[in-house]
Amino acid sequence: MGRNTRDKNYRDQLWKKVGLVFQFPEQQLFEATVFDELAYGLRNMGLNKQEIDTRVNEALENVGLDPEQLRTSSPFCLSGGMMRRVAVASILAMKQEILVLDEPTAGLDPEGSAHILQTIKKYQQENKVTVVLVSHCINELILLADRLVVLDNGKVGAWGSTRDVLAQDDLQHYDRLFPDYIRILFDLKKHGWKINTGMLTVEEAANELGRVLKGGG
């Protein structure tokens, strides 16, 4: 953002620009109803009732929840997965410039995870905002992220464009983090195959393997 976050005056404004979803949503939910949970930040922004209603309904629908069924429900009576959706919706409703999401799909089934990730990607593309996703599940990030940072005991192990990071030779000792099709490519490279590991999809990996088997390597 080009500003010094140590500046107290600027730091006080950051809540309007940066949205954060905790790894454990119960640590950030506090209102009596789902509606009030999403409306809290919007009221602090000074929005009128009609705009608040519109944003709350839109955000809940975006994460796959029914506003009419849940707006008067307590967020603490929901399942862990639904609580996570409410937490994500509360941030989407505020339409901030930067979103930071810590393990946003933890506790969700595969369908719920896919829905949340698609919602975040769509939100990012439509609003041109910056999204930072923290996850142990790199499978989720490979097709979503423009850039990857691999952290190893608090230090940066690798970083760059997603494709460039996957192609790095020194990334092989992190291969346990990656999906099976990329681990296969890493294993072949360890055994001396001249193969490009910077593949984002199963189809790309299969094509690269086919190229090498045909003598293209």
- Residue 18, sorted as left (phi over 0), alpha (psi -120 to 50) or beta, turns out to be beta
111, part of any domain: yes
Cα(151)–Cα(84) distance, rounded to whole angstroms? 24
Q: Check residue 203 and give its pLDDT.
A: 94
The answer on 54 and 128 residing in a single domain is: yes
164, part of any domain: yes
Which of these, 136, 79, 134, lies nearest to 109 by C-alpha position?
Answer: 79
The answer on 101 and 173 residing in a single domain is: no
Q: Check residue 172 and give its pLDDT.
A: 60
Tens digit of pLDDT for each residue in 154-169? 888 888 999 888 888 7
Cα(152)–Cα(107) distance, rounded to whole angstroms? 24
- Residue 192, sorted as left (phi over 0), alpha (psi -120 to 50) or beta, turns out to be left
The answer on 77 and 126 residing in a single domain is: yes
Long-range contact set of residues 212-215: C-beta below 8 Å, sequence gap at least 24: 212/188
Domain boundary, last residue among 104, 135, 166: 135
The answer on 57 and 121 residing in a single domain is: yes
Distances (CA, A) of 18 to 37, 105, 111, 127, 194: 17, 19, 27, 14, 43
What's the pTM?
0.77
The answer on 83 and 171 residing in a single domain is: no
The answer on 161 and 122 residing in a single domain is: no
Helices (H), the chain: 8-11, 34-44, 49-62, 67-70, 80-92, 110-127, 138-142, 162-166, 180-190, 202-211
140, part of any domain: no
143, part of any domain: no
147, part of any domain: no
Which of these, 178, 154, 151, 184, lies nearest to 166 by C-alpha position?
Answer: 178
CATH number, domain containing residue 106? 3.40.50.300
Cα(188)–Cα(183) distance, rounded to whole angstroms? 9
Which of these, 205, 149, 159, 157, lies nearest to 180 by C-alpha position?
Answer: 205
- Give bridge partners of residue 156 from the DSSP assignment: 151
Cα(130)–Cα(99) distance, rounded to whole angstroms? 6
The answer on 158 and 105 residing in a single domain is: no
Domain boundary, last residue among 89, 110, 135: 135
Q: Domains in the chain: how many in total?
A: 2
DSSP helix/strand/coil, 172: helix
The answer on 53 and 118 residing in a single domain is: yes
Q: Check residue 104 and give its pLDDT.
A: 85
Q: Check residue 143 and give its pLDDT.
A: 79
Q: Check residue 215 and give its pLDDT.
A: 78
142, part of any domain: no
Domain that holds residue 103: 1-135
Question: pLDDT under 50 in the chain at which residues?
Answer: none
